[in-house]
Chains A and B, each alone.
Chain A
Amino acid sequence: MPLVLRRAVALVVTLLVVSFLTFGLTSLLPGDPAVQILGAEAATEENVAAVREELRLDDPLLARYVHWLGDAVTGDLGRSYRTNQPVAEAIAERLPVTLEIGLLALAIALAVAVPLGTFSAFRAGGLADRVITSTTFGVLAVPSFMMAILLILVFAETLRWLPATGWTRLTDDPVENLRGALLPALSLAMGELAVYTRLLRSDMITTLQQDSITMARAKGLPTWRILFRHALRPSSFSLMTVVGVQIGTIVGGAVIVETLFAVPGVGRLLVDSISQRDLMMVQGVALVIAASVVVVNFAVDLLYSLLDPRIRHGRAATAR
């Protein structure tokens, strides 16, 4: 398939550019990785020189990049300067955690936003719509860290239903895992669902004014069928675009929420690695994030054509 092929080439090119830029930018950072590894006290000139030599930090940038790339192609992303853990292993540990929380947040957000947005549009201007609108604006104004603290206060400290912090692996105990994921996911979902509700509502209002909807009403179809079968699909383009972008950013992790809930996600790993000048880890994580953003965008493009026949048949139409 030429489309898939073109996308694959674009993916490879994007990854090369991203990895080279990450490499270049991180080496521009002031603060010597060797000093971070040794600690201030052991950072004598000889020690620093020895560590820099071992890590090839004195080689020219391009030589280092080519060396790293050579290993990366074979799946070897190197070992962390800071922890000596293989980078690929660290990412494999963290990614499921971040993905679980991100996807759970997305699921919660959509599950609430779709009915809420639809209903709000259906009753546009009514009391329910006004309540929903002002509530979502209110929620939008609360940053995720604030939401996190509020949720902990209510669900962990007061009600004691959910743990305030901590993470259990899905494979160890699925129930505990879910309990631990719920509050972080909720704090992320709140902001998202507010946006989604607003988006869907405005698109839906436009759709509901179209002739096809009037026609469906005239045919006497039940309201739920009109809303969810006929109006939802054409109203969900903006939503789909935003959700697509959102999924792409999930992989990067949510640093603040991960830190607050002490969850071992990608975001914390990335930020710690940057501040400790763990260039190998930064490099590996950036690569994975870039790859997923590209792949997700591709998937969203495909989804558009599934949702809208006009896009699917667009090329054929022009050809004719």
Chain B
Amino acid sequence: MGLRRTRRPRLAARMLWALVAAGLVAAGCGGGGDDDADAAEPTGARTEKSEQGDPVYGGSITVGLEAETNSWLPGEANFANAGITVALAIYDPLMRRDADGVVRPYLAESMEPNEDLTEWTLKLRPGVTFHDGTPLDAQALKTIFDDYLKAPGSNLAADLEDVEEMVIVDDLTVTYRLSRPNSAFPDSLTLAAGYPFSPTAAAAAGEDAGAHPVGTGPFMFESWERDSQLVVKRNPNYWQEGLPYLDEIVFRPIPDEDTRVSSLTSGDIDVLQTLRQATVAKVRELDGVDTYEQLGNNTGVNIFNTTAPPLDDVRVRKALALAIERDDVIEVLGGTGLVPPSSQPFGQDDPYFSEAVDEAWQDGDPETARELLEEYVNDPNRSDGKAPGEPVSFRYDCPPDPTLNELSQLYQAFWEAIGAEVELRQVEQATHVSEAIAGDYQAKCFRMGVDRDPYPNLKGAFTEGSSTNFTRFTHPDIDAALEQLAASTDVEERKQLVEDIMLTVNEHYPITYSGSTLAAVAVQEHVKNLDGWTFPDGTPGTGVPGATVMWGHVWTTE
């Protein structure tokens, strides 16, 4: 059923650390108690759909999104899930990840590395044109790369940092030259850096290019009123024979979860996208509505600043981790019965999810936690400089949101129960992120994990000097494993390396986990085939990762 990954990059298109947006809360299973064979329903993603039937051409659908996107120009746009799903109508990704975690060509015809993985040669399909008639050729890719993606101020510049230059090989072939081996490079082209847009149209629109996207995708941009609606029309010259089915899609950002559900109930919208567990639970109950869910890599976490006393001492961090009861956290977040507790930035359905890491992670052991904390408290050389016997105290930050307030209070209760003093502080989102980047905090609530290759994300999170190494945690073993990870194309070997990295990380407790995130697309029954997309070579697709949809394959029977 292809129930795979969630994509939840909040700011840049590929961040390991997605943000705790207001109420974007993880959720988890009730676990423990209700294991009765008849009562217990397994946690995790479910897909419930009506009879799909044969494809029908024509028709228009309206899609309710959780958020508006600032721009549609790669490099300028901050594509979160709601943005990616719109982008997938207008643009085609050069590459996409399949169900086994292998990155395959989608718009590209092929992608091949050289021997040492420092050069990646991408071949385009002949005869593909942008919506404005500009041909998609090597020159177009190079102009996009040089003038937009790598331009100063581009938010993809960091993603493409290792790419020194793009070289035109022939009319339809380019080579990306990297400064170091990177087996995960094709993964960068699954997101915004791999959405080709017409360089002629972008040049003509100048500063306004972000409001006039021109891609190669199944639908052509028609109009956009910010915070109201974006309309796309069928691309009659689409390069994939027989696609798309729909004539028109209207995307409407409806930020409030309840009124988005109301709009689906009242028939104002045909499709609803959500990443909130409470909403997932609600749409499951609606009549005449099909739901497509996926459990993603995104998970709720706490981050500890491993350079800030007393959290610079692993005994303290481990004590705080052991004091937590993940099932209770998930209950507060409204995900009981929906999603499992997490132990790594990979959801159960991801190829890089590790059982060993999951088994090694422990929580709900306040006795050991108390002992560890006491050991630190009575240590004459304790790192916070306090006299032995004085309690450990620190500050915990989380953005203002009713659910997150409850979450903070729960953590406070866990930690005070083992003898720590915890001061709670509400901090607004923008400040929260800036402080995390600057390392100007002790402990914070956060989100982590994104549906793409583990390499760029783990590298960002646990190497020195990275802006997303919020915890400031580094380790020589991790550095070595990351280097091997970049140099290997063998999936089994890479899985082993990722497992080793996560075991090392979790032994040092720079982060603690709560629960995975369930993403869902809910549709009126007349909207069909949300998860039925395939790669152009017929390889089955991965459904609706992170509630993003390949719209070219969707049809309506109304």
Contacts and interface: CB of A to CB of B under 8 A. Distances in A.
Question: Do A and B interact with each other, yes or no?
Answer: yes
Interface of A: 29-32, 35-45, 47, 50-51, 54, 79, 82-85, 90, 93, 148-149, 152-153, 156-157, 160, 163-167, 169, 259-264, 268-269, 275-277
7 contacts: A40-B467, A41-B158, A152-B266, A165-B268, A166-B228, A262-B228, A262-B253
Given A50-B153, A157-B262, A39 B78 contact: yes
A41 B266 contact: no
Find the residue from B153, B210, B229 having the highest chain A CB count within 10 A: B153
B254 A38 contact: no
Contacts of A31: 428, 430-431, 433-434
B259 A262 contact: yes
B278 interface: no
B437 A169 contact: no
Interface string B329-351: 00000000000000000000000
B263 interface: yes
A40 B12 contact: yes
B258 A41 contact: no
Interface in B191-244: 207-208, 210-211, 225-229
Contacts, number: 168
Contacts of B71: 83-84
A-B interface, 8 closest residue pairs, ranked by CB to CB distance from nearest: A39-B12, A39-B11, A31-B430, A264-B227, A41-B12, A42-B158, A264-B228, A262-B254
A43 B15 CA distance: 11
B504 interface: no
A169 B228 CA distance: 10
Contact of A35 (B16, B269, B433): B433
Given A35-B434, A42-B467, A156 B11 contact: no
B430 A277 contact: yes
Residue among A43, A90, A156 facing the most chain B CB atoms (10 A cut-off) = A43
Interface string B251-265: 011111011101101
B127 interface: no
| A contact face: mostly helix, strand, loop, or mixed | loop
A47 B11 CA distance: 15
Interface in B152-202: 152-159
B147 to A, nearest CB: 16
B516 interface: no
A79 B17 CA distance: 29
Given A41-B11, A47-B157, 18 more contacts: A29-B431, A31-B428, A40-B12, A40-B17, A82-B70, A93-B226, A148-B259, A157-B262, A157-B265, A163-B266, A165-B252, A165-B259, A166-B228, A166-B268, A167-B225, A262-B253, A263-B228, A277-B430
A62 B347 CA distance: 50
Nearest to B16: A41
Contacts of A36: 11, 430, 433
Given A38-B12, A47-B157, A84-B208, A165 B433 contact: no
Contacts of B59: none
Contacts of A160: 266-267
B262 A40 contact: no
Nearest to A50: B152
B436 interface: yes
Given A157-B262, A165-B263, A264-B226, A40 B428 contact: no
A90 B226 contact: yes
Contacts of B258: 149, 260
B260 to A, nearest CB: 7
Contact of A259 (B76, B154, B255, B437): B255
Contacts of B78: 39
Contacts of A41: 11-12, 14-16, 155, 158-159, 460, 467-468
